[in-house]
A and B are shown apart, each in its own frame.
Chain A
Amino acid sequence: MNAPQPRQWDSLRQNRARRLERAASLGLAGQNGKEIPVDRIVDLLEAVIQPGDRVCLEGNNQKQADFLAESLADCDPARINHLSMVQSVLALPSHVDLFERGLANRLDFSFSGPQGARLAKLVQEQRIEIGAIHTYLELFGRYFLDLTPNIALIAAQAADAEGNLYLGPNTEDTPAIVEATAFKGGIVVAQVNQRLDKLPRVDVPADWVDFTVQAPRPNYIEPLFTRDPAQITEVQVLMAMMAIKGIYAEYGVKRLNHGIGFDTAAIELLLPTYAAELGLKGKICTHWALNPHPTLIPAIESGFVESVHCFGSEVGMDNYVAARSDVFFTGADGSMRSNRAFSQTAGLYACDMFIGSTLQMDLAGNSSTATLGRITGFGGAPNMGSDPHGRRHASPAWLKAGREAAGPNAIRGRKLVVQMVETFREHMAPVFVEELDAWQLQKMMGAELPPIMIYGDDVSHIVTEEGIANLLLCRTPEEREQAIRGVAGFTPVGMARDKAMVENLRDRGIVRRPEDLGIDPRLATRDLLAARSVKDLVRWSGGLYAPPSRFRNW
Chain B
Amino acid sequence: MSLALVARKSWFEATARARLGGLLDAGSLQEILPPGAAQPSPHLAALDLPGAFDDGVVIGRATLAGRPVLFAAQEGQFMGGAVGEIHGAKIVGLLRRAVQEKPAAVLFLIDSGGVRLHEANAGLIAISEIMRAVLDARAAGVPVLALVGGSCGAFGGMGIVAKLCSAILISEEGRLALSGPEVIETVAGVEEFDSKDRALVWRVTGGKHRYLMGDCAALVEDDIAAFRAGASEFVATWQEPLPSVANLRATQQRLENRLAAYATCRDGLQVWAALGVAQPEAVPLLDRDSLVALKEGLPT
Contact = CB atoms under 8 A, between A and B. Distances in A.
A476 B52 CA distance: 49
A519 to B, nearest CB: 19
Contacts of A526: 13
A549 interface: yes
Contact of B5 (A536, A542, A553): A536
Contact of A533 (B12, B199, B200): B12
B61 interface: no
A530 B6 contact: yes
A183 interface: no
A346 to B, nearest CB: 28
Contact of A553 (B1, B9, B202): B202
A554 B284 contact: yes
A301 interface: yes
B122 to A, nearest CB: 31
A166 to B, nearest CB: 27
Contacts of B5: 530-531, 536, 539-540
B285 interface: yes
Interface string B5-28: 110011011000000000000000
A550 B198 contact: yes
A541 B285 CA distance: 13
Contacts of A554: 172-173, 199, 202, 206, 208, 284
Contacts of B202: 552-554
Given A273-B6, A554-B173, A554-B284, A539 B1 contact: yes
A549 B1 contact: no
Contact of B196 (A301, A538, A550): A550
Given A549-B198, A554-B206, A532 B284 contact: no
Nearest to A526: B13
A272 interface: yes
Contacts of A509: none
Contacts of A539: 1, 5
Interface residues of A, number: 27
Contacts of A302: 3
Given A533-B12, A554-B208, A541 B1 contact: yes
A551 interface: yes
Given A230-B13, A532-B13, A554-B284, A301 B1 contact: yes
Contacts of A527: 6, 9
Interface string A496-537: 000000000000000000000000000000110111110110
A549 B199 CA distance: 5
Contact of A272 (B3, B10, B12, B173): B3
A551 B1 contact: no
A532 B10 contact: yes
A299 to B, nearest CB: 12
Interface string B254-271: 000000000000000000
A407 interface: no
B197 interface: yes
A540 B10 CA distance: 16
Given A526-B13, A554-B206, A554-B208, A540 B1 contact: yes
A550 B197 contact: yes
A2 to B, nearest CB: 73
Contacts of B222: 535
B10 A551 contact: no
Contacts of A477: none
A543 interface: yes
Contacts of A552: 198-199, 202, 284
Contacts of B285: 538, 543
A538 B222 CA distance: 14
Nearest to A543: B285
Contacts of A540: 1, 5
B197 A549 contact: yes
Interface string A56-96: 00000000000000000000000000000000000000000
A553 B151 CA distance: 9
Given A532-B13, A552-B202, 16 more contacts: A230-B13, A273-B3, A273-B6, A298-B1, A527-B6, A530-B3, A530-B5, A530-B6, A540-B1, A541-B1, A542-B1, A543-B285, A550-B196, A551-B198, A552-B198, A554-B202
Interface of B: 1, 3, 5-6, 9-10, 12-13, 172-173, 196-200, 202, 206, 208, 222, 284-285
6 contacts: A530-B3, A540-B5, A542-B1, A549-B197, A549-B200, A550-B198
